[in-house]
Each structure stands twice: as C-alpha cells, then as structure tokens.
C-alpha cells in the first residue's frame, strides 16, 4: 500500500481516489477523468486544497458547519469523551452521561413540548425512524390503518430507502426501487418556477391546499403524517410564500395528522432562530435534526418528539434503533457545539447582526442582469438565474446548464456556491464576518459576470 499524506502531489491523490473511492451523487467515470478536488485543511469559513488554494466555503460543507471549521473545543470534547467512555449503547436499559446531558439540552432549546429525543447518526436515519414512529404511534392509538405519509415533490429527506422515498427527488426515485408504498407527494411552493400568473400569496394557498385535497383523496382516517422542511434546502432553497405555512398548520390541525418538520438544515441557527419551525411559526409534533447539531464535527442526528407522541410510543417496545444511537462521543461534541452556538451569540448574530447584513447584500444580487429573484432567510439563500427577469423565464438549454456554468466559475474564483438546476444557493458558516460577506459578494458577482459572458458567447441567452 502506498503511503500518502496531504503533501502528496495532487495528481497522485486523485488517481488513488479514482481507483478506490466511490463518491456520493457523482458520475464516477467523469470525476476520474477530471480529478476530484482534494481538501486538506480548514479554519473558520475557509478551505485549503492540495494545490494551495484558499477557498471561501459559502455552503458550510453540506449546510452543516454552523460554528465554522477548526474549533479546538470540539476536538477537545471528543478527545476527553473518547478517553472516558468511547462507546456504549443505549439499548437494553442502559444510558450514559453525554446522552442524558444532550437530551436535556435539546429539550430546553426545542420549542413547545418537544422534549424527547431518539438518536440516529444522520438525517436519513432519523427520517427512517420517523416513518416507523408515526405509523407505530397511530397503531398504538388503535388506528393502524393510518399508514400514509404525505410529503412534497422536490423535498429532500435523505438517501436511505425510507428517507429517499419520503423525499421527492424524481432522479433518486428512478434508481433502486423507490418510493416504497404508503408515501404520497404534493407539489412544492416554488412560486418563481411554478407560480404562473398567481400572486405569491395566492400560489402559497393553492399549494398548501393540495395537502387538504390529498388527505381527502387518501381518506382522512388513513393519513399518519405530513413531512416538510420549513424551507426546502437541497431542492434549491425554496422560501415559501407567507401564506403557505399558516394554511398547512390549519390543515394538519383540522385533520389531526402529525406534522414532522425536517430541521436537518433549518435547525441550529440557520434561519436566525434555533429552529426553522420558530421562524415559520409552526408547531410540529416531531422534528428531524442532524447537521448543525454537531456542526458536522461528528455524525449525529435524531428525532425530537412532543410529550404526547413520546408518551404513546413509550407505551410499547419500539423495535428500532441503531448501534450508534446516542453515541457518547457524538453527544459530547454536539453538546459542546450547542454551548458555542449559545455562548458566542452565534444564533443571535444571524438574527440581529451579520444575518441582516448578508441579506442586504444578497438582495442586491438582483441588480445583476442574470439574476431574477433573490430569496434569503437567516443564512440560507438562493438566486434564480434567468434570461428574462420580467417573464421569470427558464433558459432554453437543459435545466442546470446555466447553474452548472455559474458554479464552475465560482469554483475557479475560489468560492464554493452550489447550484440546483438554475438556482445558485448559499448556506455559509454562521460565523461568517462582514468582511468575509463582502468577499463572498465580490466573488459571486465576478462569477455571475463570467457565466453571463459565457452564456451569451454560447448563444444560450
Ligand atoms: N433532511 C434534510 C432536510 C436534508 O437536507 C438532509 C441532507 N442534506 C437530510 C435530511 C439527510 O441527512 P443525511 O445526509 O445526514 O442523512
């Protein structure tokens, strides 16, 4: 076996990577030809790669590094816990101090009576838990026929068979036998792309009322739950019209079905409150958490249940759990991460200080000729690229052509932004400073200019 390190030449690292490492959501042969970018170190909002570039990470990894890279306290919390108790499970009537501490802390932070935590190692696992949990809840209440879970097209809830089925990504459903039965999808509240002649408010109501129509179609007594992200993330940061969530809350209340808020991205300060449910003013029965829970320093996720849901589930043996449910090292790191978010005033900063500054600069991107709408809540935002703002037109080329072009220009300018179709999205570490926000905008503008020139040169607009 070859000995490699971060000092090994990039081409050698890339060749070995291509030979043995299979990447998620990637066409392997294409990547092998191009060579993967090798990230070697990171601090704050900045990544270093093996070619010596310093890259501004406006995506916080995969929307997760909320406290930024390089926080020594988190490494120390992990080290301490590994020396004291590196592993023990929480099956078979046992527990340990990190799981107890983290659960109590989450109960304190979560809104309303969301006071009970079931752990997983990821958002996907947590949503698989939720699928079994809501059906078990209704079976325990004497309504086992309540099997249907309603979700939305273009939602992302994970990549496992259960969570991928809950999600509404058609490209994912096309592979590997998804969706599994018992899951129905309604349309997303994406006014820019799908709103037609309706005002945003009218459109928000129309999309929310699809939930009511779907409940009536399936039979109100057959529906277990509705699951949604407060703001769709991986679907392109789709901020719903203001009319949307109040109407959804009315409908779930009226039909008495459970509401699952998938807070995997929106949680832990991303929207300017601890949870997106607070920003959107909704009252979920269950919240899915992951990502910002540990700022990505350890793989940990979970489901936070209301008093009532937890009481019903606790009445039976819930035959479900993972080896790493409530992993002590992950719990210790998450707890320290929550302390940092709280003590450093990071969540408050997103709401009152750097968040509003980012929003102001982000809104100004609509002055660029390529940008239609700019939507941002807290520190998750997206812009729609368009050849014609007034008509909210899509490009004639395949969806994603312009977005991909723009993302490549961002990479070349040492800025990580992501594209979803022809929307460009940001979700930076919540510790981003004002001067880093300025840098982000200079590079984003420059990349938009270059993409604009390229689109014109190739006759695509
Ligand atoms: N739910 C949402 C809203 C997500 O954004 C994600 C991941 N992007 C997941 C669930 C799945 O989480 P994981 O990748 O940790 O399994």
134-179 pLDDT per residue, tens: 999 999 999 999 999 999 999 999 999 999 999 999 999 999 999 9
Give the angle 10-15-21 at the CA atoms, nearest 5°: 110
Cα torsion 102, 107, 109, 111: sign: positive
- Residue 79 CB-half CA count within 13 A: 5
Average pLDDT, the chain: 97
What's the 3-state SS for the chain? CCCCCCCCCHHHHHHHHHHHCCCCCCCHHHHHHHCCCCEEEEEECEEEECCCCEEEECCHHHHCCCCCECCHHHHHHHHHHHHHCCCCCCCCCCCCHHHHHHHHHHHHHCCCCEEEEEEECCHHHHHHHHHHHHHHHHHHCCCCCCCEEEEECCCCCCCCHHHHHHCCCHHHHCCCCCCCCCEEEECCCCHHHHCCCCCHHHHHHHHHHHHHHHHHHHCHHHEEEEEECCCECCCCCECCCCCHHHHHHHHHHHHCCEEEEECCCCCCCCCCCCCHHHHCCCCCCEEEECHHHCCCCCCCEEEEEEHHHHHHHHCCCCCCCCCCCCCHHHHHHHHHHHHHHHHCCHHHHHHHCHHHHHHHHHHHHHHCCCEEEEEEECCEEEEEECCCCCCCCCCCCCCCHHHHHHHHHHHHCCEECEEECCEEEECCCCCCCHHHHHHHHHHHHHHHHHHHHHHHHCCCC
Cβ–ligand 1 contact at 59 (below 6 Å): no
Q: Please indicate whether residue 229, judged by its CB atom, sits closer than 6 Å to ligand 1.
A: yes
Residue percentage of the chain with pLDDT more than 90: 99
Residue 126 CB–ligand 1 contact under 6 Å:
no
Percent of the chain with pLDDT over 70: 100
Instruction: Give 298-336 pLDDT, tens digit per residue.
Output: 999 999 999 999 999 999 999 999 999 999 999 999 999
In ligand 1, the atom with minimum distance to the C-alpha of 301 is 15
User: In angstroms, what is the span from residue 287 Cα to ligand 1's centroid?
Assistant: 13
- Residues (pLDDT < 50) of the chain are none
CATH of domain 37-67+347-457: 3.90.1150.10
Pocket flag, ligand 1, residue 210 (CB < 6 Å): no
Query: CB under 8 Å to 380, separation ≥6 — which residues?
Result: 63, 231, 233, 237, 265, 266, 270, 271, 425, 426, 427
Determine if ligand 1 sits within 6 Å of the CB of residue 290.
yes
pLDDT per position as a tens digit, 432-444: 999 999 999 999 9
Of all atoms in ligand 1, which is nearest to the CA of residue 263? 3
Q: In Å, how far are 115, 152, 288 from 285, measured between CA atoms?
A: 10, 18, 10
The pLDDT of residue 1: 53
Cβ atoms of residues 63 and 268 within 8 Å: no
CATH number of 72-343: 3.40.640.10
203 lines ligand 1 (CB under 6 A): no
The Å distance, Cα 168 to ligand 1 centre, comes to: 13
For residue 291, which atom of ligand 1 is closest to its CA? 15
Residue 2: what pLDDT? Answer: 62
Range list for CATH 3.90.1150.10 in the chain: 37-67+347-457
- In the chain, CATH 3.40.640.10 sits at 72-343
| Ligand 1 pocket mutation, candidates 156, 164, 165, 270, criterion most atoms within 8 A of CB | 156
pLDDT on residue 19: 97
Whether the CB of 260 sits within 6 Å of ligand 1? no
- Cβ 265 under 6 angstroms from ligand 1: yes
């Amino acid at each position: 076996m070859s000995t490699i390190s971060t000092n090994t030449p990039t081409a050698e690292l890339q060749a070995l990577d291509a030979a043995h490492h299979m990447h998620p959501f990637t066409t392997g042969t294409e990547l092998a030809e191009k060579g993967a970018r090798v990230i070697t170190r990171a601090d704050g909002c900045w990544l270093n790669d093996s070619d010596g570039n310093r890259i501004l990470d406006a995506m916080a990894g995969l929307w997760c590094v909320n406290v930024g890279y390089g926080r020594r306290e988190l490494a120390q919390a992990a080290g301490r816990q590994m020396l004291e108790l590196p592993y023990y499970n929480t099956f078979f009537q046992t527990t340990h101090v990190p799981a107890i501490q983290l659960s109590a802390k989450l109960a304190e932070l979560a809104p309303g009576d969301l006071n009970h935590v079931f752990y997983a190692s990821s958002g996907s696992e947590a949503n698989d838990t939720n699928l079994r949990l809501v059906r078990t809840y209704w079976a325990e209440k004497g309504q086992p026929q309540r099997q249907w879970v309603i979700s939305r097209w273009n939602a992302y809830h994970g990549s496992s068979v259960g969570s991928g089925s809950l999600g509404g990504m058609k490209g994912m459903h096309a592979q590997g036998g998804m969706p599994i039965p018992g899951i129905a999808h309604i349309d997303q509240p994406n006014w820019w792309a799908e709103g037609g002649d309706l005002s945003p408010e009218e459109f928000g109501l129309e999309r929310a009322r699809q939930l009511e129509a779907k409940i009536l179609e399936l039979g109100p007594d057959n529906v277990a739950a509705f699951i949604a992200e407060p703001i769709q993330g991986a679907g392109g940061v789709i901020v719903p019209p203001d009319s949307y969530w109040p109407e959804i809350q009315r409908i779930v209340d009226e039909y008495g079905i459970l509401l699952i808020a998938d807070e995997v991205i929106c949680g832990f300060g991303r929207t300017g409150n601890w949870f997106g449910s607070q920003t959107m003013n909704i009252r979920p029965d269950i919240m899915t958490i992951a990502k910002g829970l540990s700022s990505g320093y350890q793989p940990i996720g979970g489901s936070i249940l209301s008093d009532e849901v937890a009481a019903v589930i606790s009445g039976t043996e819930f035959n479900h759990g993972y080896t790493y449910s409530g992993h002590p090292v992950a719990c210790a790191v998450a707890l320290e991460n929550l302390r940092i978010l709280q003590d450093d005033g990071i969540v408050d900063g997103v709401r009152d200080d750097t968040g509003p500054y980012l929003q102001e600069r982000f809104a100004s991107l609509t002055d660029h000729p390529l940008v239609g709408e700019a939507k941002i809540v807290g520190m998750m935002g997206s812009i729609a690229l368009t050849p014609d703002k007034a008509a909210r037109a899509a490009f004639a080329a395949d969806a994603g052509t312009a977005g991909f072009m723009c993302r490549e220009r961002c990479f070349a300018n040492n800025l990580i932004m992501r594209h979803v179709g022809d929307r460009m999205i940001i979700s930076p570490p919540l510790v981003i400073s004002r001067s880093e926000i300025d840098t982000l905008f200079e590079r984003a503008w420059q990349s938009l200019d270059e993409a604009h020139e390229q689109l014109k040169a190739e006759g695509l607009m």
